[in-house]
Structure 1
Amino acid sequence: MSEFLHRLGSGAARRPWLVIFVWVTLLIVGVSGFAVGFKGVSTSFDIPGTAAGEVVEELQERLPEFSGGSGLVVYRTDDGSPFTEEQQEAIAALADSARGLRDVSDVVDPFAAQQQLADQTQQLDDGRAQLDAARAQTEQGQAQLDAALADIEAAQTQLDAARSQIESAPSPEDARQAQLTQLDNQQSQLDAARAKLDAQQQQLSEAAAQIEASTRELESGAELLSFADGVRTVSEDGSIALVAVTFDLPRLELPEESKQAVIAHFEDASIARVEVAFSSDIAQGIPEILGIGEAIGVVIAAIVLLVVLGSVLAASFPLVTAITGVAIAVLGALSFSGVIQIASFTPVLAIMLGLAVGIDYSLFILYRHRTQLIGGAGVAESIALANGTAGNAVVFAGATVVVALLALNVVGIPFLGLMGTVGAFAILIAVLMSVTMTPALLSLAGVRVLGRRTRAKIIDRAAAPALTRADAARASVRQMSTLRAVVTSLFAITVLLVLAIPALSMRLGLPDGGSEASDSTAYRAFTWTQEGFGEGVNGPLLVTADLPAGLGEDGVQAAQLAVARELAAQDDVVAVAPIGTSTDSTLTAFQVVPAEGPNSESTDRLVRDLRDLPPVNGAIELGVSGQTAINIDISAGLAQALPGYLVVVVGLSFLIMVMVFRSLLVPLLATGGFILSLLATYGALTAVFQWGWLGWLFGVTTPGPVLSFLPVILVGILFGLAMDYTLFLTTGMREAFVHGASARVAVARGVRAGRTVVVAAAIIMISVFGGFVSSESILVKGFGFGLAVGVLLDAFLVRMLLIPAVMHLLGRSAWWLPRWLDRIIPDVDVEGASLERRHPRTSTSHPVHEEGPVAGAPTVAP
Structure 2
Amino acid sequence: MAQFLYKLGHWSYRKKFTVIICWLLLLGGIGGASAALQKGFNDVFQIPGMPSEQASYMVNQNFPDQKNPLLVAGVTMVFAAPEGHTLDEPVYSEAIQDVVTTLENTVPGLIKGRQFGNPLVVDPQIRELIIEQETAYGLPLATAEADADNVSLVSKDRRIAYTSFELDVPYSSAVTDEHRAAINEAMEVGRAAGLQVEGGGSGFGDPIVIKSTSEIIGLGVAFVVLVFTFGSLVAAGLPLITAVVGIGIGSLSIMLATAFLDLNNVTPVLAVMLGLAVGIDYSLFILSRYRTEYRKYPREVAAGIAVGTAGSAVVFAGLTVIVALAALALVGIPFLTWMGAAAALTVAVAVAVALTLLPALMGLCGSYTFGVKIPGIAGNPRPKNADKNETDAQAQAREDARVKKGQRWARTVHRFPGLVLTLVILGLGALSVPALGLEMSLPSDSTSYKNTTQRKSADLLAEGFGPGVNAPFLVVVDAHNVNTQAKSLSPIVDGAIDDAISKGQPLTQTEIKQVAAGAAYARVLQLLGTSPDVKHMQLFDASDDGLAAQMLLTPVTGPADADTPKILGALRNAEKEIEDTTGIVIGITGLTPIQAEITESLGAAMPRYLAVVVGLAILLLLIVFRSVMVPLVAGLGFLLSVGAAFGLTVLFWQKGLWGIVGTPAPIISFMPIFLIGVTFGLAMDYQVFLVSRMREHYASLTAKKDRAPGRYNAVEESVIEGFSMGSRVVTAAALIMISVFVAFIDQPLPFIKIFGFALAAGVLCDAFFVRMGLVPASMFLMGRATWWIPRWLDNILPHIDIEGEALARQIDRQRRDKEARADVELEASRARGSLKKSLKIGGRHSLND
TM range, smaller chain: 0.7 to 0.9
CA distance in 2, matches of 1:101, 1:94: 13
State the match for 1:801 in structure 2.
773
Amino acid at match of 1:231: V
Aligned CA RMSD, in angstroms, stands at: 3.1
Deviation of 1:111 after TM superposition, in Å, equals 3.2
Q: 1:472 to 1:682 in 2, by over 3 A?
A: closer
Which residue of the partner structure matches residue 173 of structure 1? none
The aligned residue for residue 640 of structure 1 is: 604
Amino acid at match of 1:818: P
Q: Is 2:472–2:553's contact at 8 Å kept on the other side of the alignment?
A: yes
Structure 1: distance between partners of 2:197 and 2:811:
70
In 2, distance between residues paired with 1:469 and 1:304? 18
Which of 109, 117, 120 is residue 111 of structure 1 equivalent to? 120
Instruction: Output the CA distance in 1 between the equivalents of 2:808 and 2:50.
Output: 56
Q: Specify whether residues 759 and 89 from structure 1 end up closer, same or farther in structure 2 by C-alpha distance, changes over 3 A only.
A: same
Instruction: Give the distance between the partners of 1:800 and 1:476, measured in 2 at CA.
Output: 11
Which of 420, 427, 436 in structure 2 is aligned with 1:495? 427
Quick one: distance in 2 between partners of 1:472 and 1:338? Answer: 52
> Following the alignment from structure 1 to structure 2, what is the Cα–Cα distance between the partners of residues 700 and 581?
44
Residue of structure 2 aligned with 1:82, choices 64, 82, 86: 86
Q: In the alignment, what sits opposite 1:348?
A: 269
Deviates further, 320-329 or 68-77? 68-77
Q: Does 1:93 align with 2:121?
A: no
Q: Is the 8 A contact 1:13 1:383 kept in 2?
A: yes
Task: From 661, 665, 672, give the equivalent of 2:636.
Answer: 672
User: Structure 2 residue aligned with 1:287, among 198, 203, 208?
Assistant: 208
1:228, distance to aligned residue in structure 2 (A)? 4.9
Matches within 5 A, 1:418-817: 418-451=338-371, 452=373, 453=375, 454=380, 459-460=389-390, 463=393, 479-480=411-412, 484-547=416-479, 548=482, 550-551=511-512, 559-613=520-574, 614-615=577-578, 618-619=581-582, 621-694=585-658, 696-697=659-660, 699-701=661-663, 703-740=664-701, 742-817=714-789
Q: What is the deviation of 1:735?
A: 1.2
Tell me the secondary structure at the aligned position of residue 563 of structure 2: helix
Q: How big is each residue's C-alpha offset from its partner over 1:428-450, in whole Å with a ceiling of 9 and x where there is no partner?
A: 11011111111111122223233
1:267 alignment counterpart: 184
Give yes or no for contact 2:44–2:264 (8 Å, CA) kept in 1: yes
Give, in angstroms, the shift of residue 420 of structure 1.
0.8
Question: What's the CA shift string for 1:347-385, capped at 9, x where partnerless?
Answer: 111101110000000011111112234x45432222111
| Cα distance in 2 for residues equivalent to 1:53 and 1:299 | 45
Seen in structure 2, the aligned counterparts of structure 1 residues 341 and 468 have a Cα distance that, compared at 3 Å, is: closer
**1:71 matches 2:71:** no
**Larger Rg over CA atoms:** 1
Code of the aligned partner of 2:458: F
1:294-332 deviation line (CA, Å, top 9, x unaligned): 432221111111111111111111111101110111011
Query: Could you say if the C-alpha distance between residues 364 and 217 of structure 1 is closer, same or farther in structure 2, counting changes exceeding 3 Å?
Result: closer
Matched position secondary structure for 2:257: coil
Moved more, 75-84 or 592-601: 75-84
- Aligned partners of 1:681 and 1:786 also within 8 Å: yes
SS in 2 for 1:229: helix
Amino acid at match of 2:465: F
User: Contact 1:263/1:278 (CA < 8 Å) preserved in 2?
Assistant: no
1:445-491 residue CA offsets vs partner (Å, 9 max, x unmatched): 22323343448558336947989997997899574466510010000
Partner AA of 1:67 in structure 2: N
Cα separation, 2, equivalents of 1:475 and 1:794: 22
Shift of 1:842: 10
- Which residue is equivalent to 2:327? 407
Q: Which moved more, 1:796-805 or 1:289-298?
A: 289-298
Shift of 1:700: 4.7
> Which one-letter code corresponds to 2:430 in the other structure?
V
Structure 1 range deviating more: 681-690 or 414-423 = 681-690
Q: Distance in 2 between matches of 1:67 and 1:40?
A: 20
**Shift in alpha-carbon separation, 1:627–1:472, aligned structure 2, 3 A:** closer
Paired position in structure 2 for 1:2: 2
Q: Distance in 2 between matches of 1:662 and 1:219?
A: 76
Amino acid corresponding to residue 684 of structure 2 in structure 1: M
CA–CA distance in structure 1, aligned partners of residues 167 and 674 of structure 2:
32
Residue equivalent to 1:254: 171
Contact 2:103-2:182 within 8 A present in 1 as well: no
1:398 is matched with which residue?
318
- Alignment length, in residue pairs? 750
| Separation (CA, whole Å) in 2 of partners of 1:627 and 1:481 | 53
Describe the shift of the 1:766–1:830 C-alpha distance in structure 2 as closer, same or farther (beyond 3 A).
Answer: same
Q: Cα gap change, 1:351/1:683 in structure 2, threshold over 3 Å: closer, same or farther?
A: same
1:51 Cα deviation (Å)? 1.1
Contact 2:81 2:160 in 1 (8 A): no
What's the CA shift for 1:716?
1.4
Measure, in 2, the Cα distance between the counterparts of 1:215 and 1:123. 5
Distance in 1 (CA, whole Å) between partners of 2:314 and 2:632 is 22
**Measured at CA, do residues 393 and 579 of structure 1 come closer, stay the same or move farther in structure 2, by a change above 3 Å?**
same
Query: 3-state DSSP class of the match of 1:342?
Result: coil
Superposition deviation, residue 804 in structure 1: 0.7
Question: Matches of 2:57 and 2:6 in 1, distance apart?
Answer: 56
The answer as to whether partners of 1:674 and 1:719 remain within 8 angstroms in 2 is: yes
Distance 1:100 1:443, change over 3 A: closer
Distance 1:94 1:473 in 2: 70
Mapped contact 1:485–1:809 kept (Cα < 8 A): yes
| Residue identity matched to 1:441 | L
Deviation at 1:10, TM superposition (A): 1.1
- Structure 2: distance between partners of 1:522 and 1:597: 15
Is contact 2:135–2:144 with CA below 8 Å preserved after alignment?
A: no
Residues 721 and 791, structure 1, Cα contact 8 Å, conserved in 2: yes
CA distance in 1, matches of 2:68, 2:254: 31
What is the rounded CA distance, in whole Å, between the counterparts of 2:560 and 2:239 in structure 1?
Answer: 42
Distance in 1, Cα, partners of 2:120 & 2:405: 85
The alignment status of 1:330 with 2:251, answered yes or no, reads yes
Compute the TM-score of the two structures, normalised by the length of structure 1: 0.81
Q: Deviations over 1:487-539 (max 9, x none)?
A: 10000000111111111121221122132233333222222222222211111
- Offset at residue 753 of structure 1 (A): 0.8
* Unaligned residue ranges in structure 2 (runs of 5+): 483-509, 702-712, 817-825, 827-849
Question: 1:687 corresponds to which letter in structure 2?
Answer: L
Judged with a 3 Å threshold, the aligned counterparts in structure 2 of structure 1 residues 306 and 471 are, in CA distance, closer, same or farther, namely closer
CA distance in 2 between partners of 1:713 and 1:583 (Å):
46
2:317, 2:688 within 8 Å by CA — same for their partners in 1? Answer: yes
Which has the larger displacement, 572-581 or 228-237? Answer: 228-237
Instruction: After TM superposition, list the pairs within 5 Å mapping 1:123-202 onto structure 2.
Output: none
Q: Distance in 2 between matches of 1:675 and 1:406?
A: 20
Query: Whole-Å Cα distance in 2 between the matches of residues 601 and 46 of structure 1?
Result: 20
Change (3 A) 1:742 1:122: closer
CA distance in 2, matches of 1:248, 1:371: 62
Instruction: Say if 2:468 and 2:559, in contact at 8 Å, map to a contact too.
Output: yes
1:359 paired residue among 274, 280, 283: 280
1:17 — aligned with what? Answer: 17
In the alignment, the residues of structure 2 paired with residue 760 and residue 297 of structure 1 have an alpha-carbon distance, to the nearest angstrom, of 13
Q: Measure, in 2, the Cα distance between the counterparts of 1:733 and 1:719.
A: 21
**Does the 8 Å CA contact 2:239/2:279 hold for their aligned counterparts?**
yes
In 1: Cα distance, 2:555 partner to 2:616 partner: 44
| Percent identity over paired residues | 34
TM-score, with normalisation over the residues of structure 2?
Answer: 0.82
Q: CA deviation at 1:630?
A: 0.7
